């Protein structure tokens, strides 16, 4: 199940004046320093797509309506969608904020054939949330994912059992998992343009050319995918980033920004009832050179202050003479285990934090904030992809082409 133009669709749903217009949702602000997070189908006709720089989107679509990301709202709607999916099966594997796999084995007697379940899910999402979803139905996650992308928006593609190889054969090779630009270039040496072309290649040839990846490519080209639907893998990291409108070397601005990011990370840790054992910072300068640093904590935490102070200690040595374009804070090595202490030293502070979290939960994330963050220019932190990779999203930025220097 894949929601259609999710962020943009929510904005069009909640703001009727945007319906039918090219809506472009920007991450890092809607100024020219940001990137496109989502584009409505009206905007896509102009060539606008996710990960495109905002300045490029403005050039391609001068009539576009640019809207900042509202992460809290999108995540709230995502939770509603996932709750709908779990009405039909307990085996739901979210793979991003707007996509999920469902395992319907054993549900036929109660729910009916898979195609009817897919129709019911689409209808329920439309009726309750006023959003459209595209669904692919197949025997494997690989084929179902590809099928969900073929008739967007509001699509439904069913691949009957035993037809996966024929279904995949005419599709362009770039639709196959694991085939990026380099692999596609290598396959071009064998005149491979479609998935069917790949399926026709001898398995030993693929092994000689791609090593251990060769048999995997051969299997995928025939629709073979043994990976099961996982009903909830614990998050490996939590991270937030901020791109400055103008590159800065101001220590006060940098410290304040790190505080805002640490506060957002800490709130998500508490919401997930986990604590972080390691803190990492990400720094990108005006030349797009990126450095990451990380440090283990003496004891796991879900409080903003120790995360912030660790982030400052990690960042300061790297900032001499640097104009900063982007900052990020990540929490990794998450654990729900807590060592009990007889007299907790920070109990009063924790009571304040609990009260603050309660206010934000009831009245919204901007209802209460730190005095130091007032008019700071730091937006409400939001992670573009909640299903973050193990490195906490500290790698290359979407759409980035320049080489980086990565250090840990």
- Known catalytic residues are 99
Going across the sheet that includes 156-158, the strands are 92-96, 99-102, 2-3, 133-137, 156-158
244: three-class secondary structure by DSSP = strand
Bridge partner list, 294 = 280
Task: Tell me how crowded residue 219 is: count the other CB atoms within 10 A of its CB.
Answer: 15
Cis peptide before 153 (omega within 30 of 0): yes
Q: Which helix (H) or strand (E) segment is 301 a member of?
A: strand 290-301
What is the Cβ-side half-sphere exposure of residue 292, based on CA atoms within 13 angstroms? 20
**Measured distance CA(303)–CA(374) in Å, rounded:** 20
Q: Tokens 């920004």 identify what position?
A: 257
| Beta strand segments in 6-129, E | 23-27, 35-39, 65-68, 92-96, 99-102
Q: At what angle do helices 213-221 and 203-210 cross, to 10 degrees?
A: 140
C-alpha to C-alpha distances, 286 to 246, 328, 363, 403, nearest whole angstrom: 9, 15, 37, 13
CA dihedral 254, 256, 258, 259 (to 10 degrees): 170
C-alpha to C-alpha distances, 362 to 83, 257, 355, nearest whole angstrom: 20, 25, 11
What is the Cβ-side half-sphere exposure of residue 81, based on CA atoms within 13 angstroms? 31
C-alpha to C-alpha distances, 275 to 75, 216, 270, 313, 388, nearest whole angstrom: 21, 37, 7, 20, 16
In contact, 135 and 1? CB cutoff 8 Å: yes
**What's the Rg (C-alpha) of the chain?**
23
**Pair of tokens at residue 89:** 């099966």
């Amino acid at each position: 199940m894949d929601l259609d133009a999710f962020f943009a669709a929510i904005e069009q749903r909640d703001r009727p004046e945007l319906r039918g217009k090219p809506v472009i949702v920007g991450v890092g602000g809607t100024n020219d320093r940001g990137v496109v997070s989502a584009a409505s189908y009206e905007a896509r006709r102009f060539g606008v797509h996710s990960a495109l720089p905002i300045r490029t989107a403005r050039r391609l679509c001068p009539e576009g309506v640019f809207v900042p990301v509202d992460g809290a709202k999108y995540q709230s709607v995502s939770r509603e969608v996932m709750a709908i999916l779990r009405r039909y099966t307990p085996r739901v594997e979210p793979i991003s904020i707007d996509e999920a796999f469902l395992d319907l084995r054993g549900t036929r007697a109660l729910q009916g054939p898979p195609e009817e379940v897919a129709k019911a899910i689409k209808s329920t999402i439309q009726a309750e949330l006023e959003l459209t979803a595209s669904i692919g139905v197949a025997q494997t996650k690989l084929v179902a994912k590809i099928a969900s992308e073929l008739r967007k928006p509001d699509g439904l593609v069913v691949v009957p059992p035993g037809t996966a190889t024929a279904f995949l054969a005419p599709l362009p090779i770039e639709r196959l998992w694991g085939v990026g630009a380099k692999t596609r270039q290598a396959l071009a040496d064998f005149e491979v343009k479609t998935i069917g072309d790949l399926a026709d290649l001898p398995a030993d040839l693929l092994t000689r050319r791609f090593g251990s990846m060769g048999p995997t490519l051969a299997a995928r080209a025939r629709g073979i995918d043994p990976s099961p639907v996982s009903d909830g893998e614990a998050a490996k990291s939590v991270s937030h980033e901020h791109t400055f409108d103008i590159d800065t070397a101001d220590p006060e601005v940098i410290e304040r920004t790190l505080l805002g990011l640490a506060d957002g990370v800490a709130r998500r840790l508490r919401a997930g009832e986990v604590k972080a054992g390691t803190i990492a910072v990400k720094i990108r300068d005006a030349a797009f050179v990126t450095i990451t640093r990380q440090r283990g904590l003496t004891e796991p935490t879900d409080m903003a202050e120790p995360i912030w102070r660790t982030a400052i200690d990690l960042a300061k040595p790297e900032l001499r003479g640097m104009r900063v374009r982007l900052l990020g804070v990540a929490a990794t090595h998450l654990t729900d285990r807590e060592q009990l202490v007889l007299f907790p030293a920070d109990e009063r502070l924790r009571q304040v934090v609990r009260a603050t979290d309660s206010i934000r939960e009831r009245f919204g994330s901007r209802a209460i904030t730190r005095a130091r963050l007032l008019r700071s220019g730091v937006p409400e932190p939001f992670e573009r992809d909640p299903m973050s990779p193990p490195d906490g999203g500290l790698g290359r930025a979407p759409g980035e082409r320049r080489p980086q220097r990565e250090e840990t």
